[in-house]
Amino acid sequence: MATEVAGELNDALKIDKSATPDMVHAEQKHKKEKKVKENEKSKKATKAKMEAKSAGAKDSKKDTGLGLTVKKKENFGEWYSEVVVQAELIEYYDISGCYILRPWSYAIWESIKDFFDAEIKRIGVENAYFPMFVSQKALTQEKNHIEGFAPEVAWVTKSGDTELELPIAIRPTSETVMYPIFAKWIRGHRDLPLKLNQWCNIVRWEFKHPTPFIRSREFLWQEGHTAFASKSEADEEVLTILEFYRRIYEELLAVPVIKGIKSEVEKFAGGLYTTTVEAYIPTTGRGVQGGTSHCLGQNFAEMFDISFEDEKGERKKVWQNSWGLTTRTIGVMVMIHGDDKGLVLPPRVAPVQVIVIPVPYKDIDSNALFGACTHTSELLRKAGLRVKEDTRDNYSPGWKYSHWELKGVPLRIEIGPRDLTNKQVRVVRRDNFAKEDVPLSDLVSRVTDLLEDIQSSLLEKARKERDSCIVTVNTWDEFVAALNDKKMVLAPWCNEVEVEEDVKARTKGENGAAKTLCMPLEQNDLPEGSTCFASGKPAKKWALWGRSY
Ligand code: 87F
């Protein structure tokens, strides 16, 4: 199985020989220069947005916290900014591109972390922590790797008023931090495989417009770095990790993704090949890279002299992988499931799965009501659910409904005097607002079922919508039409660097150019004689194209 898939990866890599590293790097350099130019434009837009935001903060709707002032479909950018703040995921900060992750979003990150951490430990990966500072020498050791990214590296140049003798970089990723140490630790075949992961923050001084979770200058991630004696072991791990990433999106966040291989233009330049999970935001029609799992080949082993003595006493270079998943996951989930009332959280990652709200009526005995709320939440908590009671007496039940809807809690339980009499509770779903009365005797099993149903119907709904936005085309005209219709486009492709560059140039507009998102691992048959939609040359693969974040 592993070799079959590795063969598949290799096939995808059989691309035109004209894709020299120089060309790829020239393209990346061009990309960065363009970004720098965009900087000024983007700064102005941010300022205007922040001003609008503070003006908006004064209006009464926001003061009372009673909901969003914009609709998702009408102004997606504004809607997103409002949701992340009002749902208490994010607090803004006075450095552009840096955001505070509040407990509500940090808890979601912890769910992702708990899942992934357990899975990688099962396959023998160990956690470690390496410093956040990189010497200039180490950072620039592997030139291919850093060249295109150089403008995004942040440097420490001073301590107090004194210039440092040599500037020190803040890690934008840790290949160059870890690999000199790998060279020291790996001596013989018994030191392999070496499989390390770290949970940390990194800094990339992006010049594109920042967006909470999706593109920020500092973010949290995990980065895995592994070294093997053989390529086949490395190939196999690349796909194992990619499958964990797919499961994080689909099973935890209820976000459908497509697994694939990046084109030569889009892959990590320092590596051999890059695999990815790609998500799609229907409201903007943009693809979004969800996480990448790279086979680095022996490139870094060469540069950092990471070698081992094999069983025959011969010196060999190691085969390496690196893989990363960031807090962008949270932004993708918000964009896909959120609605005009705010966040919609999949139960598996919701910090609170059930909110219990007492609904007092006139001068009814509120002790009995509060007692019923406590009893209800204890029953559910004992069943392992995350439950909270909102018994604050300075807010009305209606205000609380809106508040917890805004925060995306999957289920709300309302308990009023009539429910006390009938030994039942009223349960309301966040995803479709369906209401039902549940007898206390059925509480745990019904609530558990409902949470599972919400989890699966969020994924199903998102998948249906995503699938309806994938258009298969064969010609350039069909391609352009689908792209302008905010679709992702599946097209037969010759897999040539110049052709991807040409498609980018021809689709460049206000909304950014189209690029390949990936070549899906699951490939439909390419009929005999299929030609590339863009070049007319023989097609080698189905590629997924789109505009992206
Ligand atoms: C920005 C500045 C400097 C991305 C950068 O994807 C260097 C880089 O190397 C850089 N932005 N990258 C590629 C990161 C590759 C790889 N690293 C480990 C991952 C996953 C985790």
pLDDT in tens, 131-176: 999 999 999 887 777 888 999 999 999 999 999 999 999 999 999 9
Interval 192-208 mean pLDDT: 97
- The stretch 344-357 carries a mean pLDDT of 98
Please determine, for residue 31, whether its predicted confidence score (pLDDT) is greater than 50.
no
Q: How far is CA 458 from CA 36, 57, 291, 337, 464, in A?
A: 39, 31, 21, 7, 10
Tokens at 316, concatenated: 């060999």
Nearest CA to ligand 1 atom 2: 149
**Ligand 1, pocket residues at CB < 6 Å:** 145-146, 149, 152-153, 172-173, 175, 204, 223, 268, 292, 294, 322-324
Single-letter residue type at 435: K
Detail the DSSP E strand segments found in 298-363: 307-309, 315-317, 319-326, 354-358
Distance 204 CA to ligand 1 centre (A): 9
Q: How many CB atoms lie within 10 A of CB 451?
A: 21
| Ligand 1 centroid, distance to 317 Cα (angstroms) | 22
Question: How would you classify the pairing of strands 354-358 and 411-415?
Answer: parallel
Encode pLDDT of 489-541 as tens digits.
Answer: 999 999 999 999 999 999 998 888 999 999 999 999 999 999 999 999 999 99
Report the run of H or E that residue 91 belongs to, with start and end.
strand 90-92
Which atom, in ligand 1's list, is nearest to the CA of 145? 9
Residue 436 makes CB contacts below 8 A (sequence gap 6+) with: 426, 427
CA atoms within 13 Å, Cβ hemisphere of 460: 7
Is the peptide bond prior to 346 cis by the omega test (within 30 degrees of 0)? no
The per-residue pLDDT for 11 is 42
Confidence class for position 26, pLDDT limits 50, 70, 90: very low
Its sign, for the CA torsion 383, 449, 331, 543, is: positive
pLDDT over 60 (residue 250):
yes
Among 268, 299, 323, say which to mutate for ligand 1: greatest number of ligand atoms within 8 Å of CB: 268
pLDDT surpassing 80 at residue 32: no
Of these ranges, 12-21, 47-56, 439-448, the one predicted with the greatest mean pLDDT is: 439-448
